[in-house]
């Protein structure tokens, strides 16, 4: 029986996840299909209830990363710590996981020997970014959000300080992570020079984003959002194939290479 997987969210037509997971299936010799499904917080319960035994797993994007929690009873510890999930392993005992943290951690791992980082945005991906920075030993984690008072509640315990998005001084950062949608990028004041400071922009369509282009023009290093997407998808493949999520698969480098090729990286 062909196994089925999908990425759910709204909007979802831009998602590159089918390319990534299709590439993984080819390398691993798996008989599975991976599709896009438009889903909102209102329609998600019905979609989950209608899935048959051929369904192996789901990837979740906005706006579903928090609303899925009460719909699946078993959670990985990280899901409960952050209050959000991006992965559902289906089957006899459906379970939620979060691979965004590991994806961000993998991209920043060689660059995060820094003391101070600024995260732009206050949503679900910001929470994963803050947790990744904590794991990497970044001591001073600042969140810049359009509504810092709201972000301070939703991200309580994950950041050290909160600031308005249009007032934060990015010259104070040794590393910046943007989790902003394109509509919010204009509020960010990019300094005239940010020589060598890395910016991980988790957005990837279009690339570079307007913020990324301004950052590069100011002399900063731009880290591609697709790299984070690839690394978190690789962790999802471990989960979907019942591999140990903390241990690389035997063919992992081949899978990573195929994923990168599939999206032009």
Please say whether the beta carbons of 34 and 5 come within 8 A: yes
The whole-angstrom separation of Cα 108 and Cα 190 is 21
Burial class of 110 by CB neighbour count within 10 A (0 to 12, 13 to 18, 19+): exposed
Beta bridge partners of 36: 7
State the CB neighbour count (10 A cutoff) for residue 211: 23
Main-chain phi, psi angles of 231, to 5 degrees: -65, -40
Q: Which of 4, 16, 21, 65 is catalytic?
A: 65
Tell me the residue length of the chain.
265
Nearest to 101 by CA among 207, 236, 212: 236
Beta bridge partners of 120: 144, 178
Per-residue burial over 148-179, b = 16 or more CB atoms within 10 Å of its CB, e = otherwise: beebeebbeebbeebbebeebebeebbbbbbb
The whole-angstrom separation of Cα 65 and Cα 86 is 6
Check if 136 is active-site: no
Helices 225-240 and 252-262 cross at an angle (nearest 10°) of: 130
Main-chain phi, psi angles of 211, to 5 degrees: -65, -45
Q: Which residues are known to be catalytic?
A: 65
């Amino acid at each position: 029986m062909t196994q089925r997987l999908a990425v759910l969210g709204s909007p979802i037509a831009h998602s590159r996840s089918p390319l990534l997971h299709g590439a993984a299936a080819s390398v691993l010799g798996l008989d599975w299909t991976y599709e896009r499904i438009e889903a909102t917080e209102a329609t998600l319960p019905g979609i989950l209830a209608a899935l048959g035994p051929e369904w192996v797993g789901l990837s979740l994007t906005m706006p579903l990363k928090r609303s899925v929690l009460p719909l699946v009873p078993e959670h990985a510890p990280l899901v409960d710590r952050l209050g959000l999930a991006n992965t559902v392993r289906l089957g006899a005992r459906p379970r939620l996981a979060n691979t965004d943290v590991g994806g961000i951690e993998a991209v920043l791992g060689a660059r995060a020997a820094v003391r101070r980082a600024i995260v732009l945005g206050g949503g679900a991906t910001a929470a994963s970014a803050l947790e990744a920075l904590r794991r990497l030993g970044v001591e001073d984690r600042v969140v810049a959000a359009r509504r810092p008072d709201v972000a301070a509640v939703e991200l309580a315990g994950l950041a050290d300080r909160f600031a308005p998005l249009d007032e934060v001084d990015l010259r104070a950062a040794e590393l910046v992570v943007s989790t902003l949608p394109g509509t919010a990028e204009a509020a960010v004041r990019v300094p005239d020079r940010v020589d060598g400071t890395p910016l991980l922009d988790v957005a990837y369509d279009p690339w570079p984003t307007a913020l990324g282009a301004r950052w590069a023009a100011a002399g900063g290093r731009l880290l591609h959002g697709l790299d984070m997407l690839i690394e978190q998808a690789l962790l999802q493949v471990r989960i979907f194939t019942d591999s140990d999520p903390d241990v690389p698969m035997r063919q992992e480098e081949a899978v990573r290479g195929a994923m990168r090729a599939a999206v032009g990286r």
